[in-house]
Structure 1
Amino acid sequence: MLTISIIDSNVFYRESLYLLLKEYFSINKIKVKFTESDNAFLPNSDLVFVEVDCITQCLHTLPIFGYGFMGRIFPVLEYGAIHKKADNTHPCINKFPIIYREDTLSTIIGKVTANLLFLNEKNMLSCNRVISKDCHVCSQHRLTQRETEVLRLMAKEYCVTAISNILRKSIKTVSSQKKSAMNKLRISNNRDLYAFLRKNSELLRYG
């Protein structure tokens, strides 16, 4: 069974994509399940369709997938966004199957069909290999193992002092790792951090 996540603020497009994929997999007799909209970025998803604003932001969400994520990510964006230029353009974007909102139904199905093959290949190009070797921009936003551990413990309501004792690190080190993780996730305050942790508690269990 395939697990599919669709993360898009455009309700009409999200529902349309959901119906299209549901019909496609039903016709091909492939069992699938769709994650709930409030369980975004589940690490065990096989196919993730994620809305992006522009090419320079499309993969900033990759850090929270964790190091074990081996599914396929389909960035969803407007066609014009691919032509935007910026200093922090992701070199790895061409490694991913982009879904344009202007794509026809047959084009979307074609991209999905082609990428289903990757799920069964041992030498597939995983997100881990892409961002660690091919993309200097993504690597700057990747959470380290220590940063993930700090967030996971914070999600369990441990304070910085308690976390320092558990990890046998100084309070200064733990605070630094917390701040680094927040910067990578573009979170500026503790209130938003705890909101993020509550929403992604399931994901952090696997990170």
Structure 2
Amino acid sequence: MKKINLIIGLLAALILGGCNKDESAASSGIDSKVIIGEIFRAGMAWNEDVKSMEALKSTYPINIGVDHTLYGPEGGVIHVLGSVTGSMSIDDQTGSIQSGFMQLGLTETINDYTMIYNGNTYTMDGAPYISLTGTFTLAPGGTTFGTASSMQIGGGFRVTGPGLDQTINIQLTIIINADGSGGHVSGTYGGEGVDYTF
């Protein structure tokens, strides 16, 4: 279980680490990377609710129901529902992960989620929601990802703030580097192309 939390925590840190302030963002708006980061952070917070698991065995099934609420730094919530399923092969002698496979299927409902960016307050609401799906393969040792590790984020939300009242539709794919050191985000955000490496 600790390795699962470590891997998911590493994945979340890598994505969020790539969501730094974009110097070209207009001062009257909010950087798309900030919003993508908040949506991703909510979707990856499911493992905070997992308190205990069975003892390790040769093939370890993963079947985790997700019902988690992420509270906004300035109010509001993102409610995440869904599941994480898959399996892991564990060496009974050493306890090390030989291989693994996980699938995420989550829905994020956003209600008055409020944050501050560049000194301005912005609020997000689902229009109607965001879906987050993903497939992750783990290489031997459980600390690196297989080449098939990716996530898809899609849906719509409304953002309001100083000089901004916009409904934004997104369709993103996030490919995770095999060594877990980062990845690549591509797709559309509000009808415009998104393509960056983190």
Q: RCO (CA 8 Å, sep 6+): is it higher in 1 or 2?
A: 1
Write 1 or 2 for the structure with the bigger share of strand.
Answer: 2
**Normalised-by-shorter TM-score class:** under 0.3
**TM-score with structure 1 setting the length:** 0.25
More helix by share: 1
